[in-house]
Amino acid sequence: MTELLLNHLGGRWTAGQGAGTALVDPVLGTELVRVDATGLDLPAGFAFARREGGEALRALGYRQRGERLAAIVKLLQANRDAYYAIATANSGTVKNDSAVDIDGAIYTLGTYAKLAASLPDGAVLPDGEAVPLAKDNAFASRHVRVPTRGLALFINAFNFPAWGLWEKAAPALLAGVPVVVKPATATAWLTQRMVKDVVEAGLLPAGALNVVCGSSAGLLDALAPFDVLSFTGSADTAALIRRHDAVAARSVRVNIEADSVNSALLLEGEAPGSAAFEALVKEVVREVTVKSGQKCTAIRRVFVPEALYGAAAEAISARLAKTSVGNPRNEAVRMGSLVSRAQLHAVHQGLAALKTAATVLHDGATHAWVDADPAVACIVGPTLLGSPDPDGAAVLHDTEVFGPVATLMPYRDAAHARALVARGQGSLVASVYGSDEAALADTALDLAATHGRVHVVSPAVVALHSGHGNVMPQSLHGGPGRAGGGEELGGLRALDFYHRRAAVQAAPSVLERL
Ligand code: NAP
C-alpha cells in the first residue's frame, strides 16, 4: 500500500479513517500516495483555526505577518527539488511547466511579503479620510478595514497545486486570516507537502495553516458567518457552492474562479510576418502547449482578420508540429501529459464537441510520443482547430476544452471581432496584438467590460511582456460572467476579500485614535 497522506487540522496531523483515494502518475500509471478525509471533526478543527490561528495571526500585525511570508519563501525555495519531483510524478509536467506552478507560487508569496512593508504597523487598515456628518465637523464618519474573525477555506482546482494554494494564502495570512486548503484530489500531494513543510518548520502559529485532502464532504457545512470561501474549479461545482446554505443563508463571502474561453485577437492592418503577427503566433503556441493547456487563462479562441486566416493557420501549425510530447522525465520532451485519465476523457470529449463545428488544422494525434505507452499515458498532442464560420458555431465560444487545444477563427472588421470575443460571456483574460496604439487602447477598454485582464502586445513589448496566460500578483486575476465573477490578486487589492469594512461614526478626537 502507498503512503496515506495526513490531514492537518485542529493543531495536529490526522489520518482519514477510510482506505483512501489513490493519486496516480499520469504517464506511468503507477499509484503514488493516497488521500482520505473520512471521519475528521471538521467543526472542531475549523473552530480551532478561527480561535487559535486567527487570534495569534491578528496579534502579529501586518509587517510581522509579512516577515512570516518571507520566511516561508525561503523554506519553499530550499525544498524546490522535492516539489519538482512531486510535480513530475503527479502532474506529468516538464520542468518548465512545473516552474509555472512552483516558482509562480514562490514569486507570488515573495511579492506579498514585500508589499507588507507598505502597510501600517498596526492591526487595522484605514479606508479613506474622515467625512463630516455634522456642522463644524463636530461629528464625523471614518471607514476602517479589519481582518475578518473567521477562516478562509480554499477549494482548489487540480492544475495549480502550488500556486493555487499560495496565491490565496499569501494575502489571507498577510491579512491575519487562518487558512484551510482543500486541494483537488488528483494532485493533492504537492499542496499537502508544502503545508507540511511550513507547519513542521513552525513558521506560523498553531491553527493558521491547515490542509484537508480527499472528499469535500462536510467542508461547507462547517463554515460560519465570518468565514470566507474561495473556490476554483468548474462552473458546475461553482453553481452547487453558490446554492449551499453557507453562502445562501449564512452569508459566507465567496469568491469564484471558474472556467473561461479566453481569446487572442490580432488587430487589422498587420501583415503576415509583422511583429504583431509573429507575437500572436508565438503566444498561441505557448498557451496551447504550456502545462498541456491546463491553465484557466490559456488561449482557447484565436481571432484574426479574414485575409490572414490561412497564413495564421499555417504559421501556428508549423510551430505546434515542432513540439515534442511524451514522458516529462525525458529531456527531449517539451510537453508532458494531462493530470489524469478523467481529464484525458474530458479533453477527448471536448475535442469531439468542437469538431462538430470546426476542422482540424493541426492534428495532435500526428505527434509520436517519446518514452510513453499510449495504453497508459494521459497524453494529447497539441491541436489547432479552425472554423471559417464563427458566427454560426455556438459550441466554439461555449466549450472550454481543458487541454492543448485552440480554435482559429476569422473576423470581418473590428466590430465583428469584438462581438465574437464577447461571445465567451466573460473571460479571465484576452490578449490583443497590433501596432496601432490608438486601436490597441480602444480595444483594451472595450474588452475591459467583459474581462478581468486585457494583455496588450505591441512591437515595443514583444520581447518583455509577461505573457497572456501568466497571472502576475500585481495584476487582477478573475473575470466576470462565465469566468465566475471573482477577483484575486491585484497587489494589495487582494486584502479586501479577507477584511471587513466598517464605518465608525464619532467625534473627530475619537476617530483620530483609530
Ligand atoms: P471541479 O471538478 O469543479 O473541482 C474543483 C474543486 O472542487 C476540487 O477541489 C474538487 O474536489 C472540489 N469539489 C468537487 N465537487 C465539490 C462539491 N460538490 N462541493 C465542494 N467542492 C467540490 O473542477 P476541476 O475539473 O477539477 O477543475 C478544472 C476547472 O477549473 C476548469 O474548468 C478550469 O477552467 C477551472 N480553473 C479555473 C481557474 C481560475 O483561476 N479561474 C484556475 C484553475 C482552474 P475533488 O478534486 O476532490 O473532486
Strand pairing partners for 179?
A: 152, 209
And the C-alpha cell for 83? Answer: 516539489
Quick check: CB of 259 below 6 Å from ligand 1?
yes
235 and 83 Cβ atoms separated by less than 8 Å: no
For the CA of 236, the closest atom of ligand 1 is 3
pLDDT tens digit at each of 514 positions of the chain? 899 999 999 999 999 999 999 999 999 999 999 999 999 999 999 999 999 999 999 999 999 999 999 999 999 999 999 999 999 999 999 999 999 999 999 999 999 999 999 999 888 999 999 999 999 999 999 999 999 999 999 999 999 999 999 999 999 999 999 999 999 999 999 999 999 999 999 999 999 999 999 999 999 999 999 999 999 999 999 999 999 999 999 999 999 999 899 999 999 999 999 999 999 999 999 999 999 999 999 999 999 999 999 999 999 999 999 999 999 999 999 999 999 999 999 999 999 999 999 999 999 999 999 999 999 999 999 999 999 999 999 999 999 999 999 999 999 999 999 999 999 999 999 999 999 999 999 999 999 999 999 999 999 999 999 999 999 999 999 999 999 999 999 999 999 999 999 999 999 999 999 9
For the CA of 478, the closest atom of ligand 1 is 41
Ligand 1 geometric centre to CA of 40 (Å): 21
And the C-alpha cell for 363? Answer: 492534428
* Catalytically annotated residue among 167, 283, 287, 296: 296
421 and 430 Cβ atoms separated by less than 8 Å: yes
Ligand 1 geometric centre to CA of 413 (Å): 37
DSSP run (H or E) holding 443 = helix 437-448
Can you tell me which residue has the cell 497522506? Answer: 5
Q: Is 296 a known active-site residue?
A: yes
Quick check: CB of 293 below 6 Å from ligand 1?
no
**Model confidence, pTM:** 0.97
Strand pairing partners for 384?
A: 362, 406
- Ligand 1 probe mutation, 23, 182, 232, most atoms within 8 A of CB: 232
* CB-count exposure of residue 500 (10 Å: 0-12, 13-18, 19+): middle
Protein residue closest via CA to atom 23 of ligand 1: 233
